[in-house]
Amino acid sequence: MTNEQPSAAHGWQPIGTAPLDGSYVDLWCSPYNGQQRRVSDAWWTDRTGWRTGTEIPVKMRPTHWRLVPPSPQSEQRAPTTSEAAIRDNALEDAARVCEGIDDGRWRLPVSLGIQKCVAAIRQMKGSGV
């Protein structure tokens, strides 16, 4: 527990602006003893008010809210140089396979589709996709 005040720099917003659609949020609350505390994974229900992730009603008075931060797994890291090279080599191999399919025996629409596929694959190289 802490006596710190919530900061807009950390995403805290006045409780009057909180979503009331069942979205999970973190709450900054002011309990009866004067100590403030954060309640994580809370949501609003019209029937019972603020609830926590364990479905226990929030007894403290929320003063601020913020979106639940993303999980570490949701943060994407940039590929290493060797991973990027492997990806780019695989994309070039895929482009060559597509080019090999277009041996001149296909009708024009199929041939154009293959050419577009090759161009798209080569465009992905170096883009991190």
Q: What is the pLDDT of residues 95-126, one digit of tens each?
A: 777 667 666 665 556 666 667 777 777 777 66
Stretch 42-56: mean pLDDT, rounded? 81
Total number of residues shown for the chain: 129
CB neighbour burial string for 85-122, b if at least 16 within 10 angstroms, e if fewer:
eebbeebeebbeebeeebeeeeeeeeeeebeebbeebe
Q: Which residue has the higher pLDDT, 95 or 22?
A: 22
Predicted TM-score (pTM) of the model is: 0.49
53 Cβ contact partners less than 8 Å away, ≥ 6 residues apart: 24, 40, 41, 42
